[in-house]
Amino acid sequence: MNRTFQVDLRGVVDLLSHHLYASPRVYLRELMQNAVDAVTARRAEVPNARAAISVVTGPAAITVTDTGIGLTEAQVHELLATIGRSSKRDELGFARHEFLGQFGIGLLSAFVVADEVRVTTKADGAPAVLWTGRADGTYDIKPAQRDEVGTTVELTARPGSEQWFEPPTVTELARLYGSMLPVPVTVDGVAVSGDGTPWREDDREPGLRRADLVGYAQETLGFTPFDVIDLAVPEAGLTGVAYVLPFPANPAEHAGHRVYLKGMLLTESAQGLLPDWAFFARCVVDAGELRPTASREALYSDTLLDETRQALGDQLRGWLVGLARADQSRLHKFLGVHHLGVKALALHDDDMLRLVEQWWPMETNVGRMTLADFRAQHGEIRYCATADDFRQLAGVAAAQDIALVNGGYTYDAEIIERLPALEPGLTVSRLDPTDLATRFDALPPATELALRPFLTAAQRAMDRLGCEVVLRSYEPASLPVLFLVDRSAAFQAELRATKQRVDELWAGVLSAFDKPADDRPQLVLNHRNPLVRRVCGLTDPDLVGLSVEALYGQALLLGYHPIRPADAALLNRSFLGLLEQAVPTEGTP
């Protein structure tokens, strides 16, 4: 024998109120939505039937009356009293796109704030009926008095829910959800809808339309936009605007967009409407074809949403490229605020890459300039991949006539590396600190030979730090010493440090990456510097050791290198050692 499921309505209401809906306030949205759908259905049958929804508040009570299609007694049994049954799906069970509802559960949200729902309804040519549904899962139907086709839903607040029935709250909620509805809605006789969307195309002067749009952003979103971009994606039935934020937005934070579905507010914080890179824009859109989740508080993620996101991304990109072409001073202002977003975009978009190349000034050791200007002046693009490398090398490189871009800011190095993909003839090279040493002049052989003992003593002092001492002659002469670490040496140093910290087994695994120490960091003494020349003249090996250690410490500090415990100990030792040498011993006058 087949049996029928029993549903405990209290359990279902509890589920809705605690797990599906974010707030009890959605009850009003669901009632308005049913009223709009009923009007839509009625107008499909009688095109010029009156369309009106009136919400009337009473003491801890509310009625929502529509001039919609109404229900016959049989439909009341089938639709109102059956959870999950909806008249808004086609024979195959798909949501019919002219309606807002589809799931057949919306009316239940009334039980989140009321113990009883009374629906007086009349369909064309049928007698009026009063359906009373209760939160305990029982209902009854009686004949009712009503002349006009349509429906009235009455709720009385459950003790504790009165706040959701206060007239100002009801007005505010009706306006929030319904201000853009195509059907006139009133609350206690005052219209809360009727103007349509602020971006509608009508006979407003273009200046007035824009002022309305800016006013909407100020009132609703709380900022004066940098610009307003019209949006349209016909496949999704979407129209709207993107407001360009006047302040930098955190790329990791997606504030979300205000999305209406067929004029009814879905959410003020929709995610996934724009591509991630477009974090400089906040949208307000109305879409007819995008689908809501069952809570009706978010967009359902499907291929249409994916395609819409892509189309909206294209429209924002088009705006940006247009700005570059038509209004460069505004483009500069925009980049000043949103360069991070644009740079993120440039990593996978050629138009944006060109935009950054042409318009975004980067830090170089020959002044701030765009990559386009840098190329025009220096041919190839040489850059440092980290800000520390740049700080360390900018001055020295300039003294060797090497122009250098600081690629250390977020995305800059990747952007520079992507440029040859755009222009195959372009050479881009990353300056490795040790490459710089190959540009320095070697000392004359005789001088080199004479300084061999000094070098040996200096090297002995530096051996325990795994560092090679090199004597070269370079500009600027005021710089005594440079500590140069190449990429693989930096990696090896990190590897060594890790191996000391981890257990034996893991250290063994890491040993597979060990490389012979032929690319040790270099301490490059500048023979053009007067102090270094005097140090080179020292003969006492101890004093040579102390001086070289002091120069090493100085180079670490100047080059913004990390100071390891061994380095700190050495700095200390060399300072005290030199002090000892400099200060006369006790007893000496």
Ligand X SMILES: Nc1ncnc2c1ncn2[C@@H]1O[C@H](COP(=O)(O)OP(=O)(O)OP(=O)(O)O)[C@@H](O)[C@H]1O
Q: Does 554 bind ligand X (CB under 6 A)?
A: no
Q: Which residues contact 147 (CB under 8 A, 6 or more apart)?
A: 122
Q: Does 129 bind ligand X (CB under 6 A)?
A: no
Q: Does 71 bind ligand X (CB under 6 A)?
A: yes
Q: Which residues contact 232 (CB under 8 A, 6 or more apart)?
A: 238, 239, 240, 315
How does DSSP classify residue 22? S
Look at strands 185-187 and 190-191 and give their pairing: antiparallel
At 80, the amino acid letter reads L
Which member of 69, 299, 323, 532 binds ligand X (CB under 6 A)? 69
Which member of 49, 60, 79, 578 binds ligand X (CB under 6 A)? 79
Please give the Cα distance from 560 to 388 (Å, whole number).
6
Which member of 53, 66, 149, 352 binds ligand X (CB under 6 A)? 66
Q: Which residues contact 397 (CB under 8 A, 6 or more apart)?
A: 365, 403, 404, 431, 436
Please give the Cα distance from 6 to 119 (Å, whole number).
23
- Two tokens, residue 150: 């349509």
Which member of 25, 29, 43, 88 binds ligand X (CB under 6 A)? 88
Which CB, 66 or 549, lies closer to ligand X? 66
Question: Is 47 in a helix, a strand, or coil?
Answer: coil
Q: Does 80 bind ligand X (CB under 6 A)?
A: yes
Which member of 21, 27, 43, 103 binds ligand X (CB under 6 A)? 103
Which member of 32, 38, 264, 571 binds ligand X (CB under 6 A)? 38
Q: Does 133 bind ligand X (CB under 6 A)?
A: no
Which CB, 80 or 316, lies closer to ligand X? 80
How does DSSP classify residue 265? E
- Two tokens, residue 96: 């019919």
Which CB, 66 or 389, lies closer to ligand X? 66
Which member of 87, 161, 220, 386 binds ligand X (CB under 6 A)? 87
| Closest distance to ligand X from the beta carbon of 151 (Å) | 4
Q: Which stretch binds ligand X (CB under 6 A): 64-72, 239-247, 430-438, 579-587?
A: 64-72
Total interface residues for ligand X by CB under 6 A = 23
Evaluated on CA atoms 258, 259, 265, 269, the torsion sign reads negative
Longest dimension (CA), the chain: 124
Q: Does 484 bind ligand X (CB under 6 A)?
A: no
Q: Please give the radius of gyration of the chain, using alpha carbons only, rounded to the nearest integer.
A: 37
How does DSSP classify residue 119? E
Q: Does 107 bind ligand X (CB under 6 A)?
A: yes
| Closest distance to ligand X from the beta carbon of 304 (Å) | 18
Q: Which stretch binds ligand X (CB under 6 A): 102-110, 206-214, 262-270, 335-343?
A: 102-110
Which CB, 26 or 524, lies closer to ligand X? 26
- Two tokens, residue 526: 């500048």
Which CB, 123 or 228, lies closer to ligand X? 123
Q: Is 87 exposed, middle or buried (0-12, 13-18, 19+ CB in 10 A)?
A: middle
Closest CA to 51 of 194, 202, 197: 194
Q: Does 104 bind ligand X (CB under 6 A)?
A: yes
Please give the Cα distance from 511 to 496 (Å, whole number).
9
Which CB, 103 or 279, lies closer to ligand X? 103
Which member of 24, 68, 225, 341 binds ligand X (CB under 6 A)? 68
| Closest distance to ligand X from the beta carbon of 86 (Å) | 3
Q: Does 266 bind ligand X (CB under 6 A)?
A: no
- Two tokens, residue 183: 């059907």
Q: Does 86 bind ligand X (CB under 6 A)?
A: yes
- Two tokens, residue 562: 């990390």
Q: Does 102 bind ligand X (CB under 6 A)?
A: yes
Which member of 106, 198, 313, 559 binds ligand X (CB under 6 A)? 106
Please give the Cα distance from 107 to 551 (Å, whole number).
80
Which CB, 76 or 536, lies closer to ligand X? 76
| Closest distance to ligand X from the beta carbon of 175 (Å) | 20
Q: Does 178 bind ligand X (CB under 6 A)?
A: no
Which CB, 34 or 267, lies closer to ligand X? 34
At 291, the amino acid letter reads R
| Closest distance to ligand X from the beta carbon of 272 (Å) | 21
Per-position x/- string for 5-34, each x denoting binding to ligand X as judged by CB under 6 A, each - no binding: -------------------------x--xx
Helix axes 412-422, 371-378, angle to 10 degrees: 60
Which member of 101, 198, 225, 480 binds ligand X (CB under 6 A)? 101
Question: Is 299 in a helix, a strand, or coil?
Answer: strand
Closest CA to 331 of 227, 192, 197, 435: 227
Q: Is the bond preceding residue 516 a cis peptide, omega within 30 degrees?
A: no
Q: Which residues contact 219 (CB under 8 A, 6 or more apart)?
A: none
458 touches 548 (CB < 8 A): yes
Q: Does 35 bind ligand X (CB under 6 A)?
A: yes
Q: Which stretch binds ligand X (CB under 6 A): 21-29, 104-112, 192-200, 308-316?
A: 104-112
Which CB, 19 or 501, lies closer to ligand X? 19
Site for ligand X in 135-164 (CB under 6 A): 151
- Two tokens, residue 528: 């053009």
Query: Tokens 């020292």, residue?
Result: 538
Please give the Cα distance from 199 to 201 (Å, whole number).
6
Which member of 12, 16, 51, 105 binds ligand X (CB under 6 A)? 105
Q: Which stretch binds ligand X (CB under 6 A): 105-113, 156-164, 199-207, 396-404?
A: 105-113
- SS3 percent helix, strand, coil of the chain, rounded to 5, is 45, 20, 35
Per-position x/- string for 200-239, each x denoting binding to ligand X as judged by CB under 6 A, each - no binding: ----------------------------------------
Q: Is 220 exposed, middle or buried (0-12, 13-18, 19+ CB in 10 A)?
A: middle
Q: Which stretch binds ligand X (CB under 6 A): 84-92, 385-393, 523-531, 537-545?
A: 84-92
Site for ligand X in 335-374 (CB under 6 A): none
The residues that touch ligand X, with contacts defined as CB under 6 A, are 30, 33-35, 38, 66, 68-71, 79-80, 86-88, 101-107, 151
